[in-house]
């Protein structure tokens, strides 16, 4: 479909083309110097000691769960208001997931009280998700993690360049995981990064990213090593130089892109005030990355009619998220989960277009279409 306003769009230009050509001309494609540079600059930008690039955030989350020591018989607490990868990463280790509720419609992030209530003697880790790049309440959450000796993982897939009280998201816990999937604020097609200040976690993750091998292909190519040992059961979760080069070009644009997302989000909030829509995170703390633009339809509104009305105007929308505990796979494993705030907010949620190159005119166009849809088809079918 040829959207008049797509949900997301790449902020790509000659910089990315040059970056890829540079790698092709270097004749070295697998993880090497460009990846090291990307990791170094990402770590610097996020004020963290170690950044380890992988092929996607799901792998970063999995490695964080392995570093947490999760395994059969353990539990990790996760929100259900997230992409399924957050919960899957826990399950890959054989540990069980315990879902905790969000705060409410104004703040779609994990509730510290809900988190505390979900702790059992089996709990070993917490995974928080900075929904849309808006900071979770990291001070009480970190306090809970400390008190109960739980490994704290931040799913910062939406949150590169975001901070709370001057501290970057992804660096509040023991490990932070970022996604560079094509619709993200920093896009490489597929890609991810694990950050940590803990030397032992970094060492373990670096090894497990590449089969537990003690040297890389590049080390052998350049004569720094001639063989290797395998010191653990690892994976092939390596990124490649082409995507790291894209990552470097995108990192240079990140702050400007996040600032444009912020301007467009505020324009949305101003334009949609008084429409009866719920506007989550209006009173946000910190400096978010404004990854997506969630709205909550009035209770009882017909969401499908609303989405269809926008589609008829050429405007693409999405839903973030169908709660993980409601998916067949998870419902069959955990049939008794009930999360009232998550279920109510998720049923009302629609995501509007947001991307750095959008322009104020397109924000206004979407705002007008939203108002028309609310007055027309959405309301007519309202219960």
Ligand X SMILES: Cc1ncc(COP(=O)(O)O)c(C=O)c1O
Q: Which chain residues interact with ligand X by CB under 6 A?
A: 56-58, 82-83, 85-86, 129, 155, 157-158, 179, 181, 192
Nearer to ligand X, 12 or 228 (CB): 12
380 class by beta-carbon count within 10 Å (0-12 exposed, 13-18 middle, 19+ buried) = exposed
Nearer to ligand X, 8 or 129 (CB): 129
Given the residues 124, 184, 204, 362, the one annotated as active site? 184
Nearer to ligand X, 324 or 366 (CB): 324
| CA 28 to chain CA mean position, Å | 30
As given in the structure block, the two tokens for residue 272 are 């949609």
Q: Are 133 and 185 in contact (CB under 8 A)?
A: yes
Q: What minimum distance in Å lies between the beta carbon of 45 and ligand X?
A: 18
Q: What minimum distance in Å lies between the beta carbon of 40 and ligand X?
A: 21
Indicate if 184 belongs to the active site: yes
Q: What minimum distance in Å lies between the beta carbon of 65 and ligand X?
A: 12
Q: What minimum distance in Å lies between the beta carbon of 179 and ligand X?
A: 3
Cα 317 to Cα 319: distance, rounded to the nearest angstrom: 7
Nearer to ligand X, 175 or 369 (CB): 175
Q: What minimum distance in Å lies between the beta carbon of 382 and ligand X?
A: 30
Phi, psi for 169 (deg, rounded to 5): -65, 145
Nearer to ligand X, 58 or 244 (CB): 58
Nearer to ligand X, 85 or 138 (CB): 85
Nearer to ligand X, 46 or 362 (CB): 46
Q: What minimum distance in Å lies between the beta carbon of 304 and ligand X?
A: 23
Q: CA angle 60-168-259, nearest 5°?
A: 105
Q: What minimum distance in Å lies between the beta carbon of 383 and ligand X?
A: 31
Q: Catalytic residue numbers?
A: 184
């Amino acid at each position: 479909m040829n959207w008049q306003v797509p949900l997301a769009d790449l902020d790509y230009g000659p910089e990315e083309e040059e970056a890829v050509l540079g790698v092709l001309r270097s004749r070295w494609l697998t993880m090497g110097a460009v990846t090291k540079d990307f990791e170094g600059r990402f770590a610097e930008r996020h004020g963290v000691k170690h950044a380890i690039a992988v092929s996607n955030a799901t792998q970063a989350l999995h490695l964080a769960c392995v570093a947490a020591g999760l395994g059969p018989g353990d539990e990790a607490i996760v929100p259900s208001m997230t992409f399924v990868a957050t919960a899957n990463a826990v399950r890959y280790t054989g540990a069980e997931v315990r879902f905790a509720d969000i705060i409410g419609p104004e703040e779609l992030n994990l509730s510290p009280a809900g988190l505390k209530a979900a702790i059992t003697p089996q709990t070993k880790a917490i995974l928080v998700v900075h929904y849309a790049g808006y900071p979770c309440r990291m001070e009480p959450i970190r306090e809970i993690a400390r008190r109960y000796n739980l490994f704290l993982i931040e799913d910062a897939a939406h949150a590169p360049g975001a901070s709370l009280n001057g501290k970057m998201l992804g660096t509040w816990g023991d490990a932070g995981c970022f996604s560079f999937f094509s619709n993200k604020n920093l896009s490489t097609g597929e890609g991810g990064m694990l950050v940590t200040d803990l030397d032992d976690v970094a060492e373990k993750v670096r090894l497990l990213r590449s089969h537990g091998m003690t040297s890389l292909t590049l080390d052998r190519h350049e004569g720094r090593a001639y063989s290797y040992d395998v010191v653990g059961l690892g994976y092939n979760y390596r990124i490649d130089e082409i995507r790291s080069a894209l990552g470097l070009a995108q990192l240079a644009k990140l702050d400007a892109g996040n600032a444009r997302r912020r301007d467009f989000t505020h324009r949305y909030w101003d334009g949609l005030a008084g429409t009866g829509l719920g506007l989550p995170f209006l009173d946000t703390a910190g400096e978010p990355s404004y990854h997506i633009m969630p709205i909550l339809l009035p209770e009882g509104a017909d969401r499908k009619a609303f989405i269809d009305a926008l589609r008829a105007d050429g405007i693409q929308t999405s839903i973030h998220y169908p709660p993980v505990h409601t998916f067949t796979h998870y419902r069959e494993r955990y049939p008794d989960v009930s999360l009232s705030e998550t279920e109510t907010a998720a049923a009302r949620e629609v995501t509007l277009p947001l991307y750095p190159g959008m322009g104020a005119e397109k924000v206004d166009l979407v705002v007008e279409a939203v108002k028309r849809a609310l007055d027309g088809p959405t309301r007519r079918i309202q219960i």
